[in-house]
Chain A
Amino acid sequence: MKRVALKYCGGCNPSYDRVRQVEEIQRAAGTRIEWVRPDSAGVEAVLVVAGCDRQCVEGVEYEQAGLRVVRLQDGRTAPEEVVGRLLEERGFHEDPDPRGLP
């Protein structure tokens, strides 16, 4: 089971239901992912959930710490695809589009 931290933006005026989208991702992940807070020990990857294109939370500090960061900024990406990206082993440097999911 991979330890993945969940970091939300504040959600001032989101363009999709962030919490519902994350719940769907969590359902899709099942037992493959253990969801923890960003300040937890042993975090292997971070799902950064932004409510809109402004991405108030970018998660650069997690990248700098060498963690895999996957960013969500809309409700259109299939949950299974997000889970797949989180479970990938390669580092963020190889991500073709570090600002968002393709």
Chain B
Amino acid sequence: MKIRTREDYLESLRKLGHKVYYRGERVPDVTAHPAFVPHINAAAKTYEMALQPEFEDLLTATSHLTGKTISRFTHIHQSVDDLIRKVQMLRLVAHETGSCFQRCVGFDGLNATYMTTYDVDVKCGTSYHARFLEYLKYVQEENVMIVGGMTDPKGDRSKSPSQQDDPDLFTRVVEKRSDGIVLRGAKAHQTGAVNSHEILVMPTLALRPGEEAYAVVCAVPLNAPGVVLVFGRQTNEERKFDSRLDAGNPDFGMVGGEALVVFDDVFVPWERVFLCGEVEFAGILVERFATLHRQNYGGCKGGVSDILIGACGLASEYQGTLKASHIREKLAEMMHLAETIYAGSVACSAMGYRTASGAYYPDPVLANCTKLNVSRNIYQIARLAHDVAGGIIATLPFEGDLKSPEVGKYVEKYMAGVKGVSTETRMKIVRLIENMTGGTALVESMHGAGSPQAQMIMYQRLGKLDMKMRWAKKLAGIEE
């Protein structure tokens, strides 16, 4: 692993020199910009923890290609145990960050591409898989952070890629050369993009004949000429600049830090192209990526929920309500909701299976079920958090008020809770709850890894309604 430590990671980002824009201005060094530091800290945890004896058992794996110890975030799942360990790892890292640590998207892209390039080669006689293996060795050796580039802007959702008035609304190949391809388009909502090294571009939906230009999988360094990143504004974005207390989770921020990644005629050499024109494989690639990504959500969101539940317990303790039976009940309900999503992630992993490529794959229906539950349970957990913590989440004065020579004494006096706990301590935990339950933090649970309707469509496709009807018929004694 070339990038081993936190400092290695930061240095690699400083050297990258990629074009990142924040509020319309180019950012020369993302590691020094307060808008990005929390997200960088969260991703850096994945490097730091791999070196800690108490965490290495989950954070590292043995490469099936080289036999070397690698970051699990670059590993291809070799067993059901690997699938379960992935989920355990995600819950673990979330306990350290309380927010998204961003590396799972690229991880899932690598695994989906591994399986699919194998299948393409078997059917089409291409050599994408061998090419991809070389790329994978590089990723594992260098331990680079990959953005999983799936979501296209999509424009008019009622139209397919080829029907759009602007053909660039889905990322496409605009030119094929002897030495590579030229890519144009964009990927939206790209988690961790500003602090990653490369993007693995994939199609966003199943494609039809005539849409070959959109059937492209390729790896692009984020500092390649023509790549531009525009950071997305988050809820309470400016609090990253203001102070530590008001930020809630000042060191690790909120969700992943998403960006729009634009490809303004970007050249990609053939060595980094893993699908180009084989439209019949776009759908299965998307499905595999979605399944692998939905598998995660009970792990990371389960872990983040653990922190939120702990924060609600502390808020209750600080305001003297922890022993109230209804508070205890609500905390238990929050735990139930969190363990339910975790159970889903473990279940889809336990029911995973070996694909033709040799890589293991979670059960798609159970992974789908997990993500749909996340889109509901996380909102319910947040609702209970608001209930337990009280209206102070919405009305708490600024940190500046607490520190003000004029009104600080009033904030200190009237925002106090139980004896022995400082007002500042109480304010910190209230702000943490606010950070984890509002705006961007919730929306990510809804739409990350696909919106709920995408999961409903998966049930319609894979839910085996015909079998269920057959079983019902048999029990009812219907023979016609």
Residues of A whose CB lies within 8 Å of any CB of B are 6-13, 18-19, 22, 37, 49, 56-57
Contacts and interface: CB of A to CB of B under 8 A. Distances in A.
B53 A8 contact: yes
B92 A12 contact: yes
B25 interface: no
B220 to A, nearest CB: 32
B85 A10 contact: yes
The 3 closest A-B pairs by CB, nearest first: A10-B58, A12-B88, A10-B57
A56 B91 CA distance: 15
B58 A11 contact: yes
A30 to B, nearest CB: 20
Contacts of A7: 53, 57
A56 B54 contact: no
Given A10-B59, A10-B85, A19 B91 contact: no
A19 B92 CA distance: 14
B88 A13 contact: yes
B29 to A, nearest CB: 34
A61 to B, nearest CB: 13
Given A18-B54, A49-B54, A56-B88, 16 more contacts: A6-B53, A7-B57, A8-B55, A8-B56, A10-B56, A10-B57, A10-B58, A10-B89, A11-B55, A11-B92, A12-B58, A12-B89, A12-B92, A13-B88, A13-B91, A57-B57
Nearest to B92: A12
B89 A8 contact: no
Contact of A12 (B53, B56, B91): B91
Interface in B110-169: none
Interface of B: 53-59, 85, 88-89, 91-92, 306
29 contacts: A7-B53, A7-B57, A8-B55, A8-B56, A8-B57, A10-B55, A10-B56, A10-B58, A10-B59, A10-B85, A10-B88, A10-B89, A10-B92, A11-B54, A11-B58, A11-B92, A12-B58, A12-B88, A12-B89, A12-B91, A12-B92, A13-B92, A13-B306, A19-B54, A22-B54, A37-B53, A49-B54, A56-B57, A56-B88
A49 B59 CA distance: 16
Nearest to B90: A12
B98 to A, nearest CB: 15
Nearest to A10: B58
Nearest to A12: B88
Contacts of B58: 10-12
Nearest to B54: A8
Contacts of A22: 54
Contacts of B88: 10, 12-13, 56
A13, A18, A22, A49: most-surrounded residue (chain B CB, <10 A): A13
Nearest to A38: B53
A11 B52 CA distance: 11
A13 B342 CA distance: 11
A6 B57 CA distance: 12
Nearest to A37: B53
Contacts of B55: 8, 10-11
A64 B91 CA distance: 32
A78 to B, nearest CB: 21
Nearest to B302: A13
Contacts of A11: 54-55, 57-58, 92
A52 B59 CA distance: 18
A12 B84 CA distance: 11
A37 B88 CA distance: 23
A11 B50 CA distance: 12
A22 B52 CA distance: 14
A6 B54 CA distance: 9
A64 to B, nearest CB: 18
A7 B56 CA distance: 10
A9 B91 contact: no
A20 B325 CA distance: 32
A24 B85 CA distance: 28
A38 B91 CA distance: 25
